[in-house]
């Protein structure tokens, strides 16, 4: 058959396509903008016919109909590798379970340990050679699709086509069913206006970044804000190697800062695994030869990251304790996001010649009742440790920047207290004394 004949032979309505799903199956939605909106809605309509259908996804912005239609979780059990704000709310309601992971290991988990009965994903329209581009899902999608017994593609007319290093597309011959239909515009996530604390944090980091550095910016508002400030700096010839491509990189490009010409590997190319942000970002990454998507097995591998001189990793966290442990995924036992690639970039940047890894946070936060708390805490109680104290590097707040490498427990306590909010320093000193990590000779 010709490519077009193959395409037509596999074309189904969403309702027809999801008939292949059986009770007890494992179904994958992959990630991010690859969320199959039409297929999810069609599967939700089969609720009363099915039980114990287990669904995996991550960074999905919702609504997920299979979750919304079944609050008792008798028919569909949703699980996430890394929670978006929407998925976090599902966790709060008991409607989502987190799957602990390091992002570069997700596809190897599938290859060696997991079952995928049906994989469903949004892709770009088929090209003249019979390929569908995996777009912003390239970081993990191909490995999941290869493991699936049945592959269903949903054509999303709005997805940007992102050029790939490898595993960025799937051929019609490897597909079982195809679904078409109208989609809403892609979700957009404009960067918030920087607060005074954000600006001071960025100002603390900027002196440590050199011309020609390669930049990784993590998920969240603060790394994006820092990226915007980099665009307004005097730095030049910066590179991009990042798990997530966000609007900050567009700002760097438009400011003439992002050239990728000094990178040791992938010279001239900005490398990413996933992408989401504003429509401006989607337009920029679409068929842009300067932006290349690759699997996270490569993008996030510390040995890949370490090959780039002056690799700068900037990520945010929720809290740190006086021992230097960093939590970026929970508030005590309340799940927030996930490990993602933070630990890999901390490791890889530290291995890079001239590289530096920064973990940034505001010194305080307000809880849901408006009560202010210090993000620097004496010791964690139930919080999930994302970065172990043995790999703590630069920790930054609006009150300063400290490097914990090679520091004793009492030095760490002293350094971290020095960048805590002044209102909490005396209390933290008393806590450090009780923990036996404060020298009596230290001046208050």
Look up 243 and say whether it is catalytic: yes
Rounded distance between C-alpha atoms, residue 343 and residue 44, angstroms = 36
If DSSP codes are grouped into helix, strand and coil, which group holds residue 9? helix
Q: Which sign does the torsion angle of CA 65, 33, 139, 308 carry?
A: negative
**Cβ neighbours, 10 Å, residue 25:** 18
DSSP readout, 368-431?
A: TTS-EEESEESS-SSPPPSB-GGG--EEEETTEEEE-TT--HHHHHHHHHHTS-HHHHHHHHHH
- Helix (H) or strand (E) holding 204, with range, is helix 196-205
Where does residue 422 rank: exposed (0-12), middle (13-18), buried (19+ CB within 10 A)?
exposed
User: What tokens appear for 346 in the block?
Assistant: 């901390």
CA of 64: how far to CAs of 57, 71, 85, 117, 242, in Å?
A: 10, 12, 13, 19, 27
- Helix (H) or strand (E) holding 146, with range, is helix 141-147
Nearest to 373 by CA among 411, 332, 412: 332
Q: Catalytic pick from 243, 297, 329, 398?
A: 243
Which residues, in sequence order, are bridge partners of residue 62? none
- Judge if the upstream peptide bond of residue 63 is cis by omega within 30 degrees of 0: yes
CA of 263: how far to CAs of 164, 267, 353, 374, in Å?
A: 18, 5, 12, 38
- Determine contact, residues 125/30, Cβ cutoff 8 Å: no
If DSSP codes are grouped into helix, strand and coil, which group holds residue 226? helix
Rounded distance between C-alpha atoms, residue 2 and residue 374, angstroms = 63
Rounded distance between C-alpha atoms, residue 116 and residue 147, angstroms = 6
Beta-strand relationship, 372-374 and 364-366: antiparallel
Rounded distance between C-alpha atoms, residue 372 and residue 361, angstroms = 14
Rounded distance between C-alpha atoms, residue 287 and residue 295, angstroms = 18
Nearest to 103 by CA among 141, 148, 77: 141
Catalytic residue positions?
Answer: 243
């Amino acid at each position: 058959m010709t490519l077009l004949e193959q395409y037509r032979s596999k074309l189904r309505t969403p309702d027809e396509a999801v008939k292949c799903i059986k009770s007890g199956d494992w179904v994958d939605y992959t990630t991010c903008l690859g969320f199959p909106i039409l297929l999810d809605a069609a599967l939700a309509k089969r609720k009363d016919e099915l039980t114990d259908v287990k669904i995996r996804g991550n960074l999905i912005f919702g609504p997920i109909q299979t979750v919304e239609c079944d609050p008792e979780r008798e028919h569909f059990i949703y699980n996430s590798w890394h929670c978006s704000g929407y998925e976090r709310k599902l966790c709060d309601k008991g409607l989502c379970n987190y799957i602990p992971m390091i992002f570069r290991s997700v596809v190897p988990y599938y290859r060696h340990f997991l079952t995928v009965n049906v994989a469903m994903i949004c892709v770009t329209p088929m090209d003249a050679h019979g390929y569908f581009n995996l777009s912003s899902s390239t970081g993990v999608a191909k490995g999941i699709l290869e493991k699936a017994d049945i592959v269903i593609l949903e054509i999303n007319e709005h997805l940007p086509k992102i050029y790939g290093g490898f595993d960025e597309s799937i051929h019609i011959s490897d597909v079982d069913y195809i679904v078409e239909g109208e989609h809403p515009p892609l979700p957009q996530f404009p960067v918030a206006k920087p607060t005074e604390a954000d600006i001071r944090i960025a100002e603390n980091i900027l002196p440590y970044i050199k011309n020609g550095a390669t930049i990784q910016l993590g998920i969240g508002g603060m790394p994006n804000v820092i990226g915007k400030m980099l665009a307004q700096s005097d730095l030049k010839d910066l590179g991009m190697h990042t798990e997530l491509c966000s609007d900050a990189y567009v700002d760097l490009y438009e400011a003439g800062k992002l050239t990728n010409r000094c990178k040791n590997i992938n010279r001239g190319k900005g490398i990413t695994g996933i992408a989401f942000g504003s429509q401006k970002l989607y337009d920029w990454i679409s068929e842009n030869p300067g932006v290349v998507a690759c699997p996270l097995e490569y993008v996030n591998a510390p040995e890949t990251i370490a090959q780039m001189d002056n690799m700068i990793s900037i990520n945010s966290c929720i809290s740190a304790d006086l021992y230097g442990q960093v939590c970026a995924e929970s508030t005590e036992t309340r799940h927030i996001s996930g490990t993602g690639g933070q630990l890999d970039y901390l490791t890889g940047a530290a291995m890079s010649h001239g590289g530096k890894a920064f973990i940034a946070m505001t010194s305080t936060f307000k809880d849901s009742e408006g009560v202010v708390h210090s993000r620097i805490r004496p010791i964690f109680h139930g919080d999930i440790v994302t970065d172990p104290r043995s790999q703590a590097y630069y920790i930054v707040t609006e009150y300063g920047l400290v490097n914990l490498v090679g520091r004793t427990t009492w030095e760490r306590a002293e350094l971290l207290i020095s960048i805590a909010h002044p209102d909490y320093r005396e209390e933290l000193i008393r806590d450090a004394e009780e923990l036996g990590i404060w020298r009596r000779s230290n001046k208050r």
